[in-house]
Each structure stands twice: as structure tokens, then as C-alpha cells.
Amino acid sequence: MLKDYLQLHFIVLLWGFTAILGLLISIPALELVFYRTLLSVIGLAMLLFVRRQSIRIQPTTIVQLILTGSIVGLHWVLFFASARVANASICLAGMATCSLWTSVIEPFANRKAVKWYEVLSGLAIIMGLYVIFRFELNQITGLLLALGSAFLASVFTVINSRFTKKYHHHTITFYEMIGALLMALISLLVYQQFFNHSTPLQLVPQPTDWLWIAILAWICTVYAYAEAVELMKRLTAFAINLTVNLEPVYGIILAAVLFHEHQQLTSGFYLGTVIILLAVLSYPLLKRRDDAKNSFSHV
């Protein structure tokens, strides 16, 4: 279990780096997600070929995985759009609401009772967001995009927790990346047709972009996403998304070091972020107390 949590924290560190990569890459969010998913599919296909690993599963399951992948693709579009509209720190603060959404979605999806300490953690996160909203009104669009991205992340995490019990994590990731790629293509076409008539799409990245996109696709996506899916066999969706809430810590530190974003943020942002992080860190203590109480009551 300790090894699983250490690996999960390393994955979250990689995900915290994705917002930084999104700022280092020159092309817009939609084009970025397209290349990220395209290279991810290519990388996974090569990995499966080398390992001679079969990906044969039922056609209905393939469709379900592709649809789940489309949610992942839309999540990434909103994520990178948030980082561009606001900045990496605001984007990552919004992503810290994953556990709030999961505390509602997971019990509903699995027909289980809502746990009081999960709701309490969620309410604390809402308080932290209120503080950020109050002091960062000029960044509200970016934060709203990040909230939407966090909601979609919670949805596909809950869905994936069911698939991991039946299929290999590389198979799940391969079909979901195909779904994410299709969502990126559809988003590009819709955006160009209805929202952007005058400016052509930037489908030719700069030479330096290819290095960052490759790192984003093959390390932060193929490796990190596939291993996170594997961890869902042993960890709950809420526990995973709660740990993912530490993504802002890693990301904001990286943003402060690389882009000096700490100079652009008010004290209200940091106060709200501290409230969110306290909610994250207090969850294991509340859970242990509740588990001990339930175990005592059954004796």
C-alpha cells in the first residue's frame, strides 16, 4: 500500500508538470490536446506491439472505453484552456476540487451511502474556492474552466475504477486515448467552423514544441495515465482524486520557480489554496477515525 501511494504521488507530480508544459508549448490548447493524444496513441500502439499484448475485448466495451476517453479529451481541453486564460496556478487550484466532485459522484454511481467526512472535505474545498474567487475575480474565467476540467476528471476516474477490475491497464488506456484523440479532432472542427472563422488553426508546432509535446504525451500521459489506471485496482476513486488534489502544490511550486507566477497572485489565492490543502491532508485522519468508530461498533 505504501508503494502504491508513493507511485501515485510521483504520478501526481508529473500531472502537476503538465500545466507547466502547456505554457511552454506555443500552439493553442485544442491543437495541443490533438498532438498529445495522437502521440499517446502511437506510443501505446508501439508498446503493445513490442510486448505482443492482445487488446481484443468485446466491441461494446471498446465503445464504452472510447466514450470514456472522449471525456478525458474534453477534460484536457478545459485544463489547458484554463492555464492559457488565467495561469498555471489558478488552473491547478481549480483542479483541487476533484475530491469534492468524486465525493458526490462515486456514492451515486456505486449506490453507496455518502460519507460525512468526504462531504466535510468537500465543503472545506468550496470555502477555499470562495476565498480564491473573492480575491481573484479577474481570473474567474480560467478558474471556471478548471472547475469543469476537475468535474470531468472525477467522472472518468469513477468510470475507470470499474474497468480496471476486468481489463489490463494498457488496453484501457489505448482505447481511451483513441477516444480522447477523436474528441480533440471534433473539438478542432467545431471550433474552426463555429467560433473561429478568421484565424487558421496552428497545426504546425515550433521545433522546440515537439520535445515538450513528446514529454507530455509519453511520460505525463502514456506512463502516468496507464499506471494511475492500474492503481485503481487497489485504491478507491476518492482516494486517488484526493491525492490528485496535491497536484496544485507541485504545480504551483514549479510555476513559481519557472515563471515567477507567485508575483502575480494575491494573498487571497494563497489563503484559499491553504484551506483546500488542509482539507486534503485532514481526510486520512477523518477516515481513520470513522473506520475505527465503525469497527468498534461492530464488536
- Segment 173-188 shows an average pLDDT of 93
Residue 143 vs residue 284, higher pLDDT: 143
User: Cβ(122)–Cβ(104) under 8 Å?
Assistant: yes
Residue 297 domain-assigned (yes or no): no
Residue 282 domain-assigned (yes or no): yes
Domain total of the chain: 1
pLDDT of residue 138: 63
Nearest to 118 by CA among 292, 290, 250, 299: 290
Residue 252 vs residue 170, higher pLDDT: 170
| Secondary structure (H, E, C), the chain | CHHHHHHHHHHHHHHHHHHHHHHHCCCCHHHHHHHHHHHHHHHHHHHHHHHCCCCCCCHHHHHHHHHHHHHHHHHHHHHHHHHHHCCHHHHHHHHCCHHHHHHHHHHHHHCCCCCHHHHHHHHHHHHHHHHHHHHCHHHHHHHHHHHHHHHHHHHHHHHHHHHCCCCCHHHHHHHHHHHHHHHHHHHHHHHHHHHCCCCCCCCCCCHHHHHHHHHHHHHHHHHHHHHHHHHCCCCCHHHHHHHHCCHHHHHHHHHHHHHCHHHCCCHHHHHHHHHHHHHHHHHHHHHHHHHHHHHHHCC
Residue 179 vs residue 280, higher pLDDT: 179
Residue 50 vs residue 87, higher pLDDT: 50
The percent of residues above 70 in pLDDT, for the chain, comes to 87
- Cα–Cα distance measured from residue 174 to residue 219, given in angstroms and rounded to the nearest whole number: 15
- Cα–Cα distance measured from residue 165 to residue 110, given in angstroms and rounded to the nearest whole number: 14
pLDDT of residue 131: 79
Nearest to 273 by CA among 138, 137, 97: 97
- Cα–Cα distance measured from residue 95 to residue 91, given in angstroms and rounded to the nearest whole number: 6
Residue 299 domain-assigned (yes or no): no
Residue 285 domain-assigned (yes or no): yes
pLDDT of residue 200: 76
Residue 100 domain-assigned (yes or no): yes
pLDDT of residue 22: 78
Residue 270 domain-assigned (yes or no): yes
Question: pLDDT grade, residue 262 (50/70/90)?
Answer: low
pLDDT of residue 264: 60
Q: CB under 8 Å to 98, separation ≥6 — which residues?
A: 150, 153, 154, 157, 241, 242, 244, 245
By residue count, the chain amounts to 299
- Segment 28-44 shows an average pLDDT of 90
pLDDT of residue 38: 94
Q: What is the pTM of this model?
A: 0.77
Residue 269 domain-assigned (yes or no): yes
- Segment 193-221 shows an average pLDDT of 83
Question: pLDDT grade, residue 196 (50/70/90)?
Answer: low
Residue 161 domain-assigned (yes or no): yes
For 276, the domain range is 2-193+205-292
